[in-house]
Structure 1
Amino acid sequence: MIQVLLIEDDLMVQEVNRQFVEQVDGFTVVGVAGSGVEGMERIRELKPDLAIMDIFMPQQDGIETLTQIRQEQLPVDVMVISAANDQKTIQRMLQYGAVDYIMKPFKFERVRQALEHYRSMKLALENSGPVSQSELDRMLHRSKQQGTEASNTASGVSAPHNEAWQSAAEELPKGLQVVTMRQIAQFLIQQSRPLSAEEVAEGVGIARVTARRYLEYLEKSGKVRLDLQYGVGRPVNKYVISSR
């Protein structure tokens, strides 16, 4: 069992996190903490595999806590579940090694995906022997490439790893990342209908403004098609993967 420590000051969110974690096979919550200071104490005491923490907490916030974890070289992985959605905070948490970042409000499916990916990565890295590049790629990029590519080939839609997509990746504007672009493309490929930037942001687990920047770039590069949907009020921009 993968042992999880929850570091969250909101008792209701803490309980939701507990229920979500324990619904995923292979995970158990071994402790909770209501602040970064208490979280550090519990990490030293319980030695969990994974700490799931908030950013906004009393006494010591998530950024300070993760910084301290790295300074003390404690062998615990960290996953963030927080309402913090500014790029600077997200970047700092990722730079300090957060394995995933989920923004509130969140759904069980997003937490499940994050935990299952973490479990696969942890098990793969604990196996003895060398790791191949393809295995490492699957661990780092959550690739389900074989099944998805087979489905996409049948439907005539290109997967986001071929030469055309590689060209788009190489031309990314400053501030955009290849991994995020491919996650968005992979998510869109798996959908049966056009999605708004908000729906894409929720599905991938990124900020809406960030999703919009990538979608606008992909639309300009011809990889994504803009589908204006009209209803009451202004038309809604929705995006669908291009079949060209």
Structure 2
Amino acid sequence: MNPIDLVLVEDDPMVMEVNAGFIKKIGGFKICGIAKTGKKALEIIRELRPRLVILDIYLPDLSGIQILQEIRKLGIPTDIILITAAQDVETVQAGLRFGVVDYIIKPFKFERISSALNHYLTYAEQFKNRGELNQEDLDRLVKILPVTENQKSREREELPKGLREITLQQVYNFLKASKIGLSAEEVAIGAGLARVTARRYLEYLEKINRVTLETQYGSVGRPINKYKALL
């Protein structure tokens, strides 16, 4: 597959450089444009119509949400990954309503953006040369899991105190992008969380049957719990 055209929008030069380095390290993408302001971002996106935009919300002139709204208003077929320090529910919901494919909260580690971009590569490949999709294909692509009635009733319950929906999805997506089971420590490093926090989310995901737990025994030391997403 040819590299995917990508526009990177970030007003901090140092963060821009770090993110560009991450993207080049992951591979599969070509940075065809960069912008440090919202107006410049819209100008580049209108002209280049990239497949993917990595967009910061806090810019000196326009907000990332305003840019996202304008892209949708113009009907430009561009996918968006939001990268931001904003964690308030209103901002997150606004991004999701306008169809972002992922939402990464700063500060993040390489493994988190790697997970997001590798998932997007898989997503793009699945759509290539496909005339139609069946339900199983669609469920996998839009991160929807078929659930049982028992699972539905559990998921209607409020999250346990201290857990947040967006972080829960972040942990699940990171696991889903991995082809092997991961320990709580590996998930914590990859998702940019404290180990105890990652374990709480993993235990809850196991409780609602979104992940499986397997205990692995080595030749020495204590057994290790490995978690794997149910696809």
Paired residues of 1:184 and 1:200 also in contact (CA < 8 A): no
Q: Which SS does the other structure have where 2:115 is aligned? A: helix
Q: 1:200–1:167: structure 2 CA closer, same or farther, 3 Å change rule?
A: farther
CA drift at 1:70: 0.7
**Aligned residues of 1:103 and 1:205 also touching (Cα < 8 A):** no
Matched position secondary structure for 1:29: strand
The residue that corresponds to 1:180 in the other structure is 169
1:122 to 121, 124, 143: 124
Instruction: Note the residue ranges of structure 1 that are not aligned, 5 or more in a row.
Output: 143-159, 226-238
Calculate the aligned-residue CA RMSD, in Å. Answer: 3.8
Out of 112, 126, 134, the residue aligned to residue 114 of structure 2 is 112
2 CA distance for matches of 1:94 and 1:211?
A: 23
State the AA in 1 paired with 2:56. D
In structure 2, the partner of 1:132 is 134
| Contact 2:4/2:28, CA 8 A, preserved across alignment | yes
Q: Once the two structures are superposed, what CA deviation does each residue of 1:116-172 show, in whole Å capped at 9, x if it has no partner?
A: 111111221232321122222222229xxxxxxxxxxxxxxxxx9785xx6244322
Q: Which residue matches 1:11?
A: 13
Match for 2:150 among 161, 167, 191?
167
Q: Report the secondary structure of 2:81's partner residue.
A: strand
> What residue in structure 2 maps to residue 71 of structure 1?
73
TM-score (norm 1): 0.67
Superimposed CA distance per residue, residues 79-106 of structure 1 (whole angstroms, 9 cap, x where no aligned partner): 1111112222111101101111111111
Distance in 2 between residues matched to 1:71 and 1:104, nearest whole Å:
27
Equivalent residues of 1:35, 1:61 under 8 A apart = no
Contact 2:7–2:31 under 8 Å retained in 1: yes
TM-score under structure 2 length normalisation? 0.71
| Alignment of 1:190 onto 2:173 | no
Deviation string, structure 1 residues 190-231 (Cα, Å, up to 9, x no partner): 333x56xxx86774579x9x9799668668879999xxxxxx
- Give the secondary structure class of the aligned counterpart of 1:17: helix
Following superposition of structure 1 onto structure 2, how do residues 77-88 of structure 1 map, counting pairs within 5 Å?
77-88=79-90
- The count of residues paired between Structure 1 and Structure 2 equals 203
Q: Which has the higher contact order (CA 8 A, sep 6+)?
A: 2
Structure 2 gaps of 5+ residues are 160-164, 214-224
Task: State the match for 1:234 in structure 2.
Answer: none
